[in-house]
Structure 1
Amino acid sequence: MNTVEAKNIDISGIKYQKYMPKDYKSPNPIRWCPGCGDYAILTCLQKALAELNVDPHNTAVISGIGCSSRLPYYMNTYGFHSIHGRASAIATGVKVANPNLSVWVATGDGDSLAIGGNHFIHTIRRNVDINILLFNNKIYGLTKGQYSPTSERGFVSKSSPYGTVEDPFRPAELTFGARGTFFGRALDVDMKNQVDTLVEAAKHKGTSVVEILQNCVIFNDGIHNKISDRNWKADNTILLKHGEKMVFGKDNEKGIVLDGWNLKAVTIGEDGYTIDDVLVHDAETQDNTLHMKLALMDTSVGMPVALGVIRSVTAPTYERDYEDQIAEVLKKSPKKSFREFLLNSSNVWEVK
């Protein structure tokens, strides 16, 4: 770790440190392709940590294998570049060993949803208080352009020259299927929303999953253009905010309404629809039915892609319940150490 140049702020005679984004930057040269969306994600994470004012020495960034997994090298925090698909499992161990750490996982769609799929869903199921940044560019970039678990059916790549014959994973479905308590989504180029979403993810107690739609300029350039291009982004995305109407469009002239059991995008003032018909976003309701519908909206069916915090509910966290359980057991047991429990117990024998 490097020297931190935090500012000393004096409020009402009480001094405290205020960290700046640069305090989380490592001097290591960044080795991503020019124009890669990972640069924006790195910057947003550093800005989010500064906004949260998290001590760099109380922060750990864990990664697996892939382009995204280089991120710990570029952070002035503790870091662990682990093995393929195992970042969530290692991050779980880090958090359980030291629950006071702010733990982040940097992982890609291949790293987390293919070889790491089992660790991904069980970390979410356990609700370990870590933050998973899922870089989704729908391709294997590090290994030079094979299709990934999120590549669309028919996608042509080096490993599917005639098009894939598989349906992709949708990260929101996996998260909700594993009883996830937090799911957010951001675009790599939409840095303000990305920072805001990361801040909310960090404040959430439990596993937070933030799907970041990221562009690979070399092997899958433009994969998210339908929603990232400024010419039509306002019409093809909707930024959800808890407690606010689900409106979108350049002039917020469109909204999301219920149409039977389904969601429907309408123009306010046309076909009899008024602002009163537009749904209010409730990210905190325990039932994830509507959250799932919002998360799966897509331009291919005439719906905007949902960004921001889609789900954020309260639930017990693994590491705190684990600590409480150990404390309760120790109260009832006279054997409170490894030495007392094993080395000095009666269950020993002498080898001659």
Structure 2
Amino acid sequence: MSSNTEYTAKDFKSDQYVRWCPGCGDHAVVNTLQKAMAELGIPPHKTAVISGIGCSSRLPYYMNTYGFHTIHGRAAAIATGVKTANPDLTVWQITGDGDCLAIGGNHFIHALRRNVDLNIILLNNKIYGLTKGQYSPTSDRGAVTKSSPYGTVEDPFVPAELTFGARGHFFARAIDVDLAVSKEVMVEAGRHKGASVVEILQNCVIFNDHIHSYVADKEFRAERTIHLKHGEKMLFGKDLNKGLVLDGFTLKAVTIGENGVTLNDILTHDATTRDNFLHQRLAMMDGHELPLAVGVIRSVDAPVYDQEVKKQIDSIREKNPKKTLRDLLLSEETWEVK
């Protein structure tokens, strides 16, 4: 619930010097998050930013909100505790692909399964940056890194696929250099009740530079990404003359005007349908054969864990004659020592 006060991004900036490498995508993320928080209108004193360990996890220092820089992989667990203990707080979890999907993977999937009202910003640069360039759970097969000098021999996690597998109800994606879409999905995540996952494809200029350039660079971003918006046609391309259709159970890219294809043939995005069949297929497009999907891919209402816990506690308290600690202490045999 937003207040009547109008906020600006400056209201959410701390006085700390931002310590990330020049050119790091994290700079764009923190600035965009501050703008998104201002648009949401939730006061800084009703906001908490929780992080684990990694370059991205420095972000709470730069926010004029409550914050907790926790331990490796445990941000989701601690954020769950914060939100459950104080449901009135808006809680953001800032995490990276290593922090969230390696040691923190168990906490991540259960936060989604429970549908805790957290806004999870997952910065994915496909590398461990803080610990100097080891491959991460999202590094591509064959990636040459400090810990895989001859290339990795394993397949990566896809954050979207993991989110859907954990029964997640909100998934969105943006690219760090696309500030407009990044802000759009952060605002939508903040408005959604329940666990929201926003994957930001973020560039590490030191250890994995240009890893997302095949979709991030302006020269071909329009052709290799598709900005999904609920209720609108799934169009992409520089002239918005390409779109997505279903060919049986398979998504297919077509060009309007070719082979009799019209605008009416193009799929309309429904982010709110409970059936996640199409959401999964959209989220798994990778920018090669089919365009990478950005924007809000899935946004479905479902019971929220912290709200359900609060309702349960309130219901039990209402039926219990012991309303306070004093009631409990005086409920059995007592005596007075003089």
TM-score normalised by the chain length of structure 2: 0.96
Secondary structure of the residue that 2:215 maps to in structure 1?
helix
Could you tell me which residue of structure 1 aligns to residue 275 of structure 2?
287
Matched residue type, 2:63 = M
Deviation at 1:274, TM superposition (A): 1.4
Deviation at 1:102, TM superposition (A): 1.1
Deviation at 1:332, TM superposition (A): 2.2
Could you tell me which residue of structure 2 aligns to residue 66 of structure 1?
54
Could you tell me which residue of structure 1 aligns to residue 82 of structure 2?
94
Could you tell me which residue of structure 2 aligns to residue 202 of structure 1?
190
Deviation at 1:130, TM superposition (A): 1.0
Mapped pair 1:176 → 2:164: yes
* Inter-partner Cα distance in structure 2 for 1:75 and 1:191: 18
Matched residue type, 1:290 = L
Deviations 1:251-281 (A, max 9, x none): 1010000011100011111122211111000
Deviation at 1:331, TM superposition (A): 2.1
Could you tell me which residue of structure 1 aligns to residue 307 of structure 2?
320
Aligned residues: 332
Deviation at 1:200, TM superposition (A): 0.4
Query: Could you tell me which of 286, 290, 301 is aligned with 1:303?
Result: 290
Deviation at 1:16, TM superposition (A): 4.2
Deviation at 1:284, TM superposition (A): 0.1
Give the unaligned 5+ runs of structure 2.
none
* Inter-partner Cα distance in structure 2 for 1:318 and 1:345: 32
Could you tell me which residue of structure 1 aligns to residue 249 of structure 2?
261
Could you tell me which residue of structure 1 aligns to residue 319 of structure 2?
332
Sequence identity, in percent?
67
Mapped pair 1:130 → 2:110: no
Matched residue type, 1:79 = G
Deviation at 1:336, TM superposition (A): 3.2
* Inter-partner Cα distance in structure 2 for 1:16 and 1:214: 34
Kindly report which structure 2 residues correspond to 1:137-152, keeping only aligned pairs within 5 A, or say none: 137-152=125-140
Deviation at 1:333, TM superposition (A): 2.0
Mapped pair 1:154 → 2:147: no
* Inter-partner Cα distance in structure 1 for 2:333 and 2:213: 66
Could you tell me which residue of structure 1 aligns to residue 173 of structure 2?
185
Kindly report which structure 2 residues correspond to 1:74-113, keeping only aligned pairs within 5 A, or say none: 74-113=62-101
Mapped pair 1:48 → 2:54: no
Query: Could you tell me which of 251, 259, 262 is aligned with 2:239?
Result: 251
* Inter-partner Cα distance in structure 1 for 2:297 and 2:163: 12
TM-score normalised by the chain length of structure 1: 0.92
* Inter-partner Cα distance in structure 2 for 1:128 and 1:270: 46
Alpha carbon RMSD of aligned pairs, Å?
1.4
Deviations 1:203-260 (A, max 9, x none): 0000000000000000000000010111100000000000000000001010000011
Matched residue type, 1:131 = N
* Inter-partner Cα distance in structure 1 for 2:236 and 2:43: 37
Deviations 1:108-143 (A, max 9, x none): 000000000000000011111110000000000000
Deviations 1:299-335 (A, max 9, x none): 33x1000000000001010111101101111222223
* Inter-partner Cα distance in structure 1 for 2:105 and 2:331: 42
Deviations 1:42-101 (A, max 9, x none): 000000011111101111000000000000000011100001101011111111111111
* Inter-partner Cα distance in structure 2 for 1:279 and 1:155: 35
Secondary structure of the residue that 2:205 maps to in structure 1?
coil
* Inter-partner Cα distance in structure 2 for 1:273 and 1:298: 24
Secondary structure of the residue that 2:218 maps to in structure 1?
coil
Secondary structure of the residue that 1:149 maps to in structure 2?
coil
Secondary structure of the residue that 2:308 maps to in structure 1?
helix
Could you tell me which residue of structure 1 aligns to residue 14 of structure 2?
26
Matched residue type, 1:276 = N
Matched residue type, 1:268 = I
* Inter-partner Cα distance in structure 1 for 2:294 and 2:136: 22
* Inter-partner Cα distance in structure 2 for 1:344 and 1:180: 46
Secondary structure of the residue that 1:70 maps to in structure 2?
helix
Matched residue type, 1:71 = L
Matched residue type, 2:138 = T
Mapped pair 1:230 → 2:218: yes
Matched residue type, 2:294 = L
Matched residue type, 1:317 = V
Identify the range of structure 1 (92-101 vs 224-233) with the bigger mean alpha-carbon deviation: 92-101
Could you tell me which residue of structure 2 aligns to residue 240 of structure 1?
228
Give the unaligned 5+ runs of structure 1.
1-14
